[in-house]
Structures are given as C-alpha cells and as structure tokens.
Structure 1
Amino acid sequence: MQVAITPFAGATSPIMTTLLLGLLFATASSSAFTGSGVPIPTASTFCGVGGVGCRRPSTALGLSTPRGGGETSESLEELRTVLVTGGSGYIGSHTCLELLETGRYRVVVIDNLENSSEESLNRVKKLLGGDADNLLHFRNCDIRDGPGLEKVLTEFPSISSCVHFAGLKAVGESVARPLDYYDVNIGGTTRLLEKLRDASVPHFVFSSSATVYGEPEMLPLKENARLTATNPYGRTKLFIEEILRDQHASSPEDWNILILRYFNPIGAHPSGTMGEDPAGVPNNLMPFVAQVCVGRREKLSVFGNDYDTPDGTGVRDYIHVVDLAKGHVAALDKLYSSPVGCEAVNLGTGKGVSVLELIDGMSKATGEPVPYEVADRRPGDVAQLYADPSKAAEMLNWKADLGTKEMCEDTWRWQKANPMGYESETVIN
C-alpha cells in the first residue's frame, strides 16, 4: 500500500552547479579523510553476456594468478578479491565479516581511520579464525590519495570489485562543513573511480542512503521516487549516484554497478564483539540510546512528539546491520553473476518503527527504562520514512530477517560488553 504525502516545497537543488564543484575538488589530493549464494560463472560465460569484465576476464572473477607482493598463497587464487573502502567503520566491518564468512571472498580494506578504529578489523579476524591474516588485509589510505590507491591496486592485482563505504556521513556536520563533504565524498569518489578504471576493476557497489529521497511524496519509497536531497550530505550521495550513471553510460562494457540506498542501520554483531562506535557525540539515535543505557549519557532527547504518526514521534525504517551487510554480499554476488548496468536498490525492512517504539525495545532489552525528554523538532526532519524493498528481493534474492527485538538485544549486548566502544576489551566465548 502506498500513502500519498504532500510534496515538500522548494526541495529541488542546483545539482549541476554542485556537481561541478565536487568534480573540481576531485583534482586535489589529500590524506586527511576517508572515510546469496550465486554460482561463480566461468570467464567465457561471463564475457558472453554483455562483455562486462572482458578487459580483465580472469581478475573480474577474482581468479587471477598472483602477481604482487600481497599475493603469495596459491590457495587464494580461486577467491574473488574485493576492495572495501571505509572497511573499518560500522557497516564496513560487518560487511567484511559477512564477505569472508561466505568462503568466496578475500578482502582488502582501505581506511584512514579518521572516524573508525582498526580494532574493528582485529575483531573480524578473531571471529573468523583460521587463515584470517591471509584473507583480510588492511592498508591506511585516503580515497583522495591517488598514488596511495595505485599502490594498493598494484599490491593486490586480483582486485576485481569494490564496495565503497568511505566518506563523511553526519547530516548536521555537513550543513556546517559543506566544502569538506563535497571534497571528501565527491572528490574522493571520483579519484577512486579513476584508479579503478585504470586498473580495469569492473564491479562497484556504492553505499548510498535514503537521504537522497528527501521529503517523500509517497510511502513506501520505491527506487523511482523523486530524488530531492535536502542537505549537503544527502546531496553528495545523490551527486555520486549521478556520476556513477554517467560513468557507466560512457563505457557500459567496463562497469557493472549497484547503488544501495539503505535506510537506518542499527544493531550489532550477535557475538557482542562488533558494533557501532561513533567518535564524539553520536549523531544517530541508536548509539545515543545505547550510551544512555550504559551510563555514558544522562538522557535522550526525542525531537518532536507532534508528528502525524501513531505516537507522535518520527518513524523510520530501521535495519539490522547484519542484514545490511548480507545485502552487500548479495549485491556483489549479483554483479559477479551477470551484468546489471547501473541500478539503484533499496535495502530496508519495509516497516516503520517510531522513536518511542525503539526506546521501548531498548528498555525491554536492558530491563531498565530509558530516560528521555521531549525537545522541539529539528529543522529538516521528516515525519516518516520507510522503504519498499521488493526490488532487492527480486533482483538480489535478499530480504531483512531480523526485527526490532534482535536489533535492540544485539545493540545492548555490544554496548554492555564494550562500554567505551573499541577501547574496551571484549572476551569472545
């Protein structure tokens, strides 16, 4: 069922002007920021469907013979090698673990650790066990550092795909620091795409966001909804989507791209060893609630209780980070199995959960009430936002399996075991 919503006046943006600004920033290099089981086809089968990856048929399948200093084990030759930018972050680290647990992938992470910790990858290795050191590699590299990217791609020449998470991601901060966001997110992405093009890496998964939709006209949100991002962060995601479409159109035989628009990731790995560890004051609801529950914050502010929603508080589509990570695995599997062109896909549950419902879920998980106060609405916040995830089910054979109960319980398990985030010591039972 779709719900009609009054259009948001004045939500359009000067896309071309800002795109040019982002492309201008891409010329500068810096080191300050980064940020389903599909069978593997043969090279001949792959090149017989649209030519995607034919410039580099063996490496596009992750089957190249090792040629660089980072590739020495013959047993690794049959694995697909994926570059994960921003892989030490919250979603990136969970995705690395899910990729490695399939037994089909080897992962090379680049991150400048500006807003994350390498400890997250150490936790991935501990959970993975076995030959983890040969399956997960980390290099400290900024996505705007062209020579640094070239060095990584030379060291690991079998890289045949990229999952791109790296970038700045706080809506409020983007309003205060728009040039940084255009520089890092747009400039960094164009630099990354240049180096992937030069290395003939065809498969690309982009971490986009539901923020590209802005004020929704209809709910649930379909991928063909009007795109009207209303803040610099959302605009960087929207402009990068346009850049990817343009790049694919310019050379469709060389690119195979999936754009994943996900909604509100929360939760943590069920082991309690991995979770969200934001630097400074959390920008998102769930990590703030978790820090209140563990005593790091006094109380939560609920921004607005007079929305046109069942309980008056904002409604969002919260998705468990493990489900989201599995969505990235499904996306990569799809790219390796067939050409898709350049497609956008929602990753969400399709169900809206209010702020008060989430607070109630955390209260049940912890056994204690969550202290909160009601504050004024924040400018730009919308009443409700949730996905139509049917395209992901049809195209990727993916759906979210975990509900609010698991999201809250796993979040609390992580926060209780790691009250100071990755600075804490966690014992894996």
Structure 2
Amino acid sequence: PATLLEDPRPTSSPLLYFHQAMTRVFSAAVLLVAAVADASHPLGGSWGARSGKTPSSLRPSIRAFAPMRLSGGAGEQGTVLVTGGAGYIGTHCTVALHEAGYDVIILDNFSNSCPKSLERTSEISGKKIEHVYDCDIRDRAALEKVFTEHKGKISCVIHCAGLKAVGESVREPLAYYENNFVGTVNLLKVMSATNCKRIVFSSSATVYGNPHKVPITEDFPLSCTNPYGRTKLFIEEMLRDLSKADPEWKIINLRYFNPVGAHVSGKIGEDPAGIPNNLMPYVAKVAVGSLPRLTVFGDDYDTPDGTGVRDYLHVMDLAMGHVAAVNKIEDIEGEVVYNLGTGHGLSVIDMVTAMKKATGKEIPYIVGPRRAGDIATCYADATKAKLELGWEATRNVDDMCGDTWTWQSNNPNGYR
C-alpha cells in the first residue's frame, strides 16, 4: 500500500534520485538489508547494535514516555526534535536547549544509550521531557508516526543519531552506510513530507580527511580516510543538493572536532557500551579502575611527541554551538557550514597528562599500532562560527578533564 511519502515520479525527488544513485554505489548488500528488513523489527539482526546483537530496549512499536514530571510549560522559543537525543551529544544539547527556552522531543533507538540519561537531563534543567520515542531512523513508518503526531510543531531538527567509531567503520562499512546514510535519507523524506524543513546536522571534522595544513577552515578540500567520515560527507553532499533543489530548506552542517568532558554536575557524560572507542572515556575508565590500562594507538606520527593531535572540545561548548545554530537557522539561505572547535590541538599524551592532574591518579598505558583511518593532526579554525553564530569555545583542558572525572568517579559504571 502507498504511504504518505511515495512519489509516483521516480526521478522528480532529489532525495530519491540521490538515494538511488548512492545505494547502487554502496553494494547489493546494503540494498538487501534495506529491502528485506522485517517491518515489525527494522533493525534486522545486529545492524546498528554495537554489542553485535539487537538491544532488548528496541521494540517494534514506538514508545513515548516522560522520564520526569518536573516544572516547565511550553517552550518560549519553540520545539526542537533531537535524533540520538539520549546519547552523549544529544543529552548535553537537550540541557542547553532547555536552558535556552526550547521544548525538546527525543528520538533514539537506545542501541548505545540509556533512558536513564534522560532522567538525569531533566534533573539538571528542571524541565520535563514531554515526548521520548524509542525509534530507529531506519524505520520509516515509525518516523512518519512521530512527525505526523507533531506536524506543524517542530521548528527544527538536530540530527545526532548515527554510528560513530572510526575503527569500527573500517571493519563494518556496510553497517555505517546503512545506518548513517540510509537512515538520514529516511529522516529527510519524512521531514519533507511533513513540511519540517529546518535541520542542524551533526557532521564531523573527518570530512576533511588528512588535511594538508592546519588550522582547518570550512573551505578546505573535502576527502575522507574512513567509512565513518564518508557517511558524514555523503550526507553533507545530499543536504547541499536538497537545499539547491528546494529553497524552502534551511540547513546548517556543524563540523565538530573531538568532543570530550561532561556536564559540570557530573550527572550526564559519555557512557559507551563496551570498550570505549574514544580517548577520554577510555582514560577515565582506566583512572577509575574499570580498565587496567590505556592503549595509545601509534607513537610514530609526525607530531611533537609522536602521538595524534586533535582539537578537543568541551561537550557543553559543543552543545551551545548547536543552540546557536538553531537560533541562527531562520536567518540563513540554503545550506551553511561551520567548524566547531577550540582552534588548537593537543596530543594523546597531553590529554593523559592533563587527566593525571585532574584525577591525582596514574594512567598506565601501552603503545599499540596505528588505527586504520586515523590521521596525525587535526584542529579547527572556528572564526566563521564566532563571527556568524556568536559562538566560541570557553572551556579549557582542565575543565574538560575535571568534568570528565566528576562524571566518571560519580558513575563508575555509567548509567547502568
């Protein structure tokens, strides 16, 4: 049977045309997953589950619940839907949005997040979350239900949902293309059909590949060294095509660098399932005694101490960057890109040393081989965001490490 999103003209929709072209490139395997996934359980086995199995929290029907019944009425600024809203970036964005006067709708499949994070988010902001949907962005029917229920009420979407580990993407590229890219196509189709045409996309500095110089400005050539980065780049290109085809769309791509830290309260932070893929949660788990040692992936890069250099950005600064983008989006035309970073780089050893200072503990580590897809140095020029969004990072490495330690020491097992 026809759905509200079907178009009898196969090439009249730029999204459909782009989707058809890209899926032919990816491989028949991606098409097979998308075509045969059980309608009552769109995940189809282990797709999207970092543990290798479908999380028990994922159910065939969408579920709405209010984690906390706290004070707060309709948002003065409007309503923002956050995909991946129970995750690391999403929870901090929700706190910042609430504090800025927005209502928030959360959409998450809880494959790498926990509903308890949303209770903590409400405790911090003192504002209830009225609508939380257990929903996967690859489940188009579920997305239709959510957006139809809130049609005309969502002022903007912040799209954070997606798999994000560089190394894992090299091992499992089809999972990343199917989850990140195909899921975003579904999201954009539903948004278009319900006339919700404002989106802030959580892109990544990985779209710059191995930069020829630093700091990196937004006009640098785009290339990628890993499948994760390519999913972000493909989505950006799709969004650019969409904005050109339909001028009603307003799109901001936020290319952020390396988010770290936690809310200063210690109530929410990064809580990856299994062994962390990112540096700081790994270091924090070593400091708290949950892991015996850190593995430093490569010490032979062309950097001062041989370890990779990155632009580490406090997650609350990043969250405020999303709020600034939402505030700005009605003033833009088409699609705009901003870097979000501090503008300077720190090495892996720099961060380990800073965590030793913050925790007062030794951080034992061993050196392992380079990870596939990693590069030597990457840090931002965020001047454009400062001039046009009025945003800049305000927290330093001591804040990043101190807040990480407050979170990890208060929650050695995360939200679990």
User: Could you say which TM-score interval applies, normalised by the shorter chain?
Assistant: 0.7 to 0.9
Pick from 205, 209, 216 the counterpart of residue 214 of structure 1: 209
Deviations 1:97-128, CA, capped at 9 Å, x for gaps: 1000111x110011110111111111011112
Pick from 79, 82, 95 the counterpart of residue 81 of structure 1: 79
TM value normalised by structure 1 = 0.81
Matched letter for residue 414 of structure 1? W
Q: Does structure 1 residue 249 correspond to structure 2 residue 232?
A: no
Pick from 114, 117, 142 the counterpart of residue 117 of structure 1: 114
Q: Equivalent residue for 2:138?
A: 144
**Inter-partner Cα distance in structure 2 for 1:179 and 1:27:** 11
**Inter-partner Cα distance in structure 2 for 1:16 and 1:364:** 52
**Inter-partner Cα distance in structure 1 for 2:224 and 2:414:** 31
Q: Does structure 1 residue 274 correspond to structure 2 residue 268?
A: yes
Deviations 1:275-313, CA, capped at 9 Å, x for gaps: 000001100111000000000111111122232222221
TM-aligned CA distance change 1:77 to 1:348, over 3 Å: closer
**Inter-partner Cα distance in structure 1 for 2:391 and 2:186:** 31
Q: Equivalent residue for 2:257?
A: 263
**Inter-partner Cα distance in structure 1 for 2:362 and 2:82:** 39
- SS at the partner of 1:422? coil
**Inter-partner Cα distance in structure 2 for 1:407 and 1:295:** 20
Q: Does structure 1 residue 99 correspond to structure 2 residue 97?
A: yes
Deviations 1:123-154, CA, capped at 9 Å, x for gaps: 0111122xx23x44211111111121111112
Q: Does structure 1 residue 203 correspond to structure 2 residue 198?
A: yes
Q: Equivalent residue for 1:426?
A: none
Q: Equivalent residue for 1:128?
A: 125
Q: Equivalent residue for 1:108?
A: 105
- SS at the partner of 1:279? coil
- SS at the partner of 1:96? helix
Q: Equivalent residue for 1:327?
A: 321
Give unpaired runs (5+ residues) of structure 2. 1-18, 50-65
Q: 1:21 Cα deviation (Å)? A: 4.1
Q: 1:343 Cα deviation (Å)? A: 1.2
Q: Equivalent residue for 1:178?
A: 173
**Inter-partner Cα distance in structure 2 for 1:74 and 1:246:** 39
Q: Does structure 1 residue 304 correspond to structure 2 residue 298?
A: yes
Matched letter for residue 380 of structure 2? A
- SS at the partner of 1:76? coil
Q: Does structure 1 residue 163 correspond to structure 2 residue 155?
A: no
**Inter-partner Cα distance in structure 1 for 2:23 and 2:250:** 22
TM-aligned CA distance change 1:101 to 1:77, over 3 Å: closer
Q: Equivalent residue for 1:357?
A: 350
Contact 1:174 1:181 in 2 (8 A): yes
Pick from 388, 408, 421 the counterpart of residue 414 of structure 2: 421
Deviations 1:15-71, CA, capped at 9 Å, x for gaps: 997564469749646632679xxxxxxxxxxxxxxxxxxxxxxxxxxxxxxxxxx9x
**Inter-partner Cα distance in structure 1 for 2:207 and 2:352:** 26
Q: Equivalent residue for 1:31?
A: 42
Give unpaired runs (5+ residues) of structure 1. 1-14, 36-69, 424-429
**Inter-partner Cα distance in structure 2 for 1:326 and 1:332:** 10
**Inter-partner Cα distance in structure 1 for 2:412 and 2:272:** 12
Matched letter for residue 255 of structure 2? R
**Inter-partner Cα distance in structure 1 for 2:221 and 2:72:** 49
State which drifts further: 348-357 or 374-383.
374-383
Pick from 228, 231, 254 the counterpart of residue 226 of structure 2: 231
Q: Does structure 1 residue 375 correspond to structure 2 residue 368?
A: yes
**Inter-partner Cα distance in structure 1 for 2:328 and 2:300:** 43
Q: 1:243 Cα deviation (Å)? A: 0.5
TM value normalised by structure 2 = 0.84
What count of residue pairs does the alignment treat as equivalent? 368
| Pairwise CA RMSD | 2.4
